[in-house]
Amino acid sequence: MYPVLFQIAGFQIRTYSLMLLLAFVVGIILLWLILKRRTLIDPAVVSDFAFWVIIGVVVGARLAYVLMHWPKFAENPAAIFKIWEGGAVYYGGFILALAAGLIYLRVKKIPVLPLLDAIAPVIALCEGIGRIGCFLNGCCFGQPTDVCGVTFPADSFASSIFGPGHSIWPTQLFQSGGGVLLFVILFLLMRLVRLRKGQLFAIFLAGFGAFRFGVNLLRYYEDTLNLWTNQWIAIGLVIVGVGLAIYFGRTQEKVPTPQWIAAERKKMAEARRKKEQGRSKKSKKSKKASRRR
């Protein structure tokens, strides 16, 4: 457990926040590369898309936490906005970020399924990186165990629940490892199998829901309501993911090969070059005409 990395003039640089930042940066770079090599979507949309997704993550995660712990905030509503004090629910951030991203794609008329397929392995990898921050922060810990437990410091939240000599499941690392494993699976499927459009994202939903359901069985929750709220969401993700995989398999065409994408991008670049040359020639002609006048 290492919640604070260092301090600058009394301002704390928290390890959890740093890992989230690292996850976002790595995610943006990876999404840019996938869009460029695997789709015909302009990679320049990544910055605007990421902005709205990040807003959705922050607002959704905090809103879900507030709703699930409303008695804590009812007497002091101003504490809702003190996100630096901690308190976020992953599912809330995921759902609102997905909604914000879909709205952005619709408004900008960007193909939805190719981008969802591109972002599926990105989300999985970001989960793997971000959950390391949870471990270092000492949150999202597991139930007591004698098998392969860890012990957090005496001043940690885990010690206040189970005592300073506790041994608990490192569920944060399980979730981190699950995210990395899911990323590897999705990345290999993207490279080796020609799935139908949308199927990769559907597989992500089902896989993420499945491993979250398993980890939740080992994780500590303050009450059974929070546990089963998360479990039902996990089950819902599996059902939706399997259903969408079947539906897209019957209704969508196969994703194009990287070779086809490269050839099409080359044609598009050549068409833009010719268009710019045509504009340049017209500009020169108009300038000559104006001089003669």
Helix, strand or coil, per DSSP, at residue 86: coil
pLDDT in tens, 92-134: 888 898 899 899 999 989 999 999 999 999 999 999 999 998 8
Of residues 177, 149, 141, 176, the one with CA closest to residue 165: 149
Chain length of the chain: 293
pTM, 2 dp: 0.87
Of residues 6, 56, 49, the one with CA closest to residue 27: 49
Give the pLDDT of residue 180: 96
- Give me the phi and psi of 235, to 5 degrees please: -60, -40
List of long-range contacts for 262-270, beta carbons under 8 Å, 24+ apart: 262/37, 264/40, 265/40, 268/40
Q: Helices 112-137 and 199-216: crossing angle, nearest 10°?
A: 20
Helix, strand or coil, per DSSP, at residue 148: coil
The Cα 132–Cα 2 span in angstroms is: 11
Q: Averaged over 247-258, what is the pLDDT?
A: 94
pLDDT in tens, 3-48: 777 777 777 778 888 888 899 999 999 999 999 999 989 888 888 8
- Model confidence at 84: pLDDT above 70: no
The Cα 39–Cα 35 span in angstroms is: 5
Q: Percent of the chain at pLDDT above 70?
A: 94
Q: Which residue has the higher pLDDT, 75 or 28?
A: 28
Please name the residues in contact with 68: beta carbons below 8 A apart, sequence gap of 6 or more: 89, 225, 226, 229
pLDDT in tens, 165-217: 899 999 999 999 999 999 999 999 999 999 999 999 999 999 999 999 999 99
**Residue 288 — very low, low, confident or very high, per pLDDT cuts 50/70/90?**
low
Of residues 182, 41, 58, the one with CA closest to residue 112: 41
Q: Are 116 and 193 in contact (CB under 8 A)?
A: no
